[in-house]
């Protein structure tokens, strides 16, 4: 892209100067009579040749100086050495004094791509008998394309779905970072590193950030990628995206710049939440999901996650990566617990525009405006109300809604925080004891809870899901998103896309409700489910193993 063109400016200009000096005015050369010695004849021709040679050297020197000036303008000081987990993670050289050279990206590709892995997943599900149309879009966002979707064939029976993605090695023991959506729901995860294929173990995953952690047992030393500091990344910096586009195999690299920082993008996994993403124009395509976004020191600054397209599943120059600092914050919990437990306030918040701030007679637009308070949440119990403006927390100023969200998410459940709130033109301090973010509970239920015992994966029915299933937006229940072959759910006749609305006559509105009623029915060994499928209701008997 741009830099190689800039870096070669001097050589191209010098080349053009040579041609221009010798052949710039061929008519003049033709007009000069030749001397007996074959040179340009007469003193005038000698003077002309001298001036021509002098002009050549002047322009050549100017071209070289121009190239030096341009190169110096793109130099930047070397940041502190990355926090390497292994000697193999040492960033590649980027030129004397930290400058970018024509070999920078070549060196990054040569040394760092060996630490990028290809990930393949396999999931066996029972193919639904109805309501299949639109289910492939169930987990996608209306305006964003996931990098790849499950592929399956056949009109009935069991279906094997396969998908491909990317990841990267973060320590010499074989720990790998990727996206949650790359491996979510998989029965088998295969990681390809160089000439070897490994069956990977899922250490943990987090729906809110779309991050997952895998583990392999390497047969030979691995190339470990250093994790950089995404907070220090600046708009306009050169970056390289690495991954396995379209499942072609091997690792491809593309180069671009950081287009924007802090782009709040809803990942479509947890309703009402978003991650401040890094936007880049480095080409990202299906299959790159989970691969690293590298800076010019070869450090990982982001995890390539999604793209925005116009209906075509390919790069449109608008790609997004989860900042690596977001992943680093949750790595310890993923290693130890397999999931992330966050504090929960229970409010919907929005940023303050200048005009909105004036209606509150505020001097600036700093703060987070509470637009709604969740029923029976810690916020409601503490007395927070819609129309409150949170301007501080625990003695720190709240700049915007993202600022407040990140702070609350960084706290453990049971922690008491003190919010400085503007209400009716007056400030007051309200103490709130945080609860557990509900999604973490649901995610644990889906991943490691009843799925292993009953052979199905459930998700809360949201209005958006109801739309895609052609149900009223006010519908309540839990959606069956996967059914394992040979397990209790399949034996009961459940299929993907079914909506469970009651268990033994008790209405179900969430995965937590389902879990509670199943636990109550466990002594009897069976449970009666009322299921809605393609608009019709039926009862099924689920045997509880």
**DSSP secondary structure of 61-96:** HHHHHHHHHHHHHT--PPPPPPB-SSGGGPPPP-SG
Nearest Cα to 419, choosing from 377, 373, 367, 366?
A: 367
Positions annotated as catalytic residues are 181, 210, 289
SS3 for 453-484 is HHCEEEEECCHHHHHHCCCCCCCCCEEEEEEC
Taking CB atoms within 8 Å and a gap of at least 24, the contacts of 149-157 are: 150/123, 152/125, 152/127, 154/127, 155/127, 156/127, 156/129, 157/126, 157/127
**DSSP secondary structure of 123-186:** EEEEPPSS--TTGGGTTSBTTBB-S---B---SSSEEEEEEEEEEEE-STT-EEEEEHHHHTT-
Cβ-proximal residues to 115 (8 Å cutoff; 6+ apart), any chain:
88, 89, 168, 169, 222, 223, 224, 225, 292
Q: What is the rounded CA–CA span in Å between residue 32 and residue 165?
A: 69
Strand partners, 531: 500, 538
Q: What's the Cα-to-Cα distance from 48 to each of 30, 34, 37, 40, rounded to whole Å? A: 13, 13, 17, 9
Pairing mode of beta strands 526-533, 506-507: unpaired
């Amino acid at each position: 892209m741009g830099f190689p063109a800039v870096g070669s400016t001097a050589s191209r200009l010098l080349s053009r100067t040579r041609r221009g000096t010798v052949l710039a005015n061929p008519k003049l050369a033709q007009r000069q009579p030749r001397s007996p010695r074959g040179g340009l004849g007469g003193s005038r021709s000698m003077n002309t040749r001298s001036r021509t040679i002098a002009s050549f050297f002047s322009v050549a020197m100017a071209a070289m100086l121009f190239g030096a000036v341009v190169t110096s303008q793109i130099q930047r000081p070397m940041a502190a050495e990355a926090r390497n987990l292994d000697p193999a993670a040492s960033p590649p050289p980027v030129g004397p004094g930290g400058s970018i050279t024509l070999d920078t990206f070549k060196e990054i590709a040569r040394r760092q791509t060996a630490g990028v892995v290809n990930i393949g997943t396999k999931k066996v599900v029972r193919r639904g008998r109805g309501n299949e149309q639109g289910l492939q879009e169930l987990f996608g966002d209306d305006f964003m394309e996931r990098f790849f979707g499950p592929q399956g064939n056949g009109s009935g029976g069991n279906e094997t779905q396969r998908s491909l993605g990317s990841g990267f090695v973060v320590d010499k023991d074989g720990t790998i970072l990727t996206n949650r959506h790359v491996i979510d729901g998989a029965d088998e995860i295969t990681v390809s590193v160089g000439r070897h294929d490994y069956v990977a173990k899922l250490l943990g995953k987090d729906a809110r950030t779309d991050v997952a952690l895998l583990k392999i047992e390497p047969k030979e030393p691995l190339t470990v990628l250093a994790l950089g500091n995404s907070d220090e990344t600046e708009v306009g910096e050169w970056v390289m995206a690495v991954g396995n586009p379209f499942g072609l195999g091997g690792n491809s690299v593309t180069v671009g710049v950081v287009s924007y920082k802090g782009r709040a993008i809803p990942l479509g996994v947890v309703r009402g939440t978003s991650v401040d993403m890094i936007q880049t124009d480095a080409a990202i395509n299906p299959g790159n999901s989970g691969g690293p976004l590298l800076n010019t020191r070869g450090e990982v600054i982001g995890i390539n996650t999604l793209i925005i397209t116009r209906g075509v599943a390919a790069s449109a120059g608008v790609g997004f990566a989860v900042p690596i600092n977001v992943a680093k914050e949750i790595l310890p919990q993923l290693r130890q617990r397999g999931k992330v437990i966050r504090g929960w306030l229970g409010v919907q918040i929005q940023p303050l525009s200048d005009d909105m701030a004036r209606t509150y007679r505020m001097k600036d637009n700093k703060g987070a405006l509470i637009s709604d308070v969740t029923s029976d949440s810690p916020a409601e119990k503490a007395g927070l109300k819609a129309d409150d403006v949170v301007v501080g927390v625990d003695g720190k100023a709240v700049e915007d809604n993202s600022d407040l969200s990140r702070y609350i998410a960084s706290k453990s459940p049971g922690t008491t925080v003190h919010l400085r709130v503007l209400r009716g033109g007056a400030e007051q301090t309200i103490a709130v004891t945080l609860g557990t973010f509900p999604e973490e509970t649901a995610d644990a239920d889906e991943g490691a809870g009843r799925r292993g015992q009953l052979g199905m994966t459930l998700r809360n029915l949201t209005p958006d899901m109801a739309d895609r299933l052609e149900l009223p937006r006010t519908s309540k229940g839990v959606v069956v998103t996967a059914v394992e072959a040979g397990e209790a759910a399949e034996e009961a006749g459940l299929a993907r896309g079914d909506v469970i609305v009651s268990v033994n006559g008790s209405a179900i509105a969430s995965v937590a409700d389902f879990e509670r009623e199943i636990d109550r029915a466990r002594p009897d060994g069976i449970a009666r489910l009322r299921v809605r499928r393609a608009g019709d209701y039926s009862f099924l008997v689920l045997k509880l193993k």
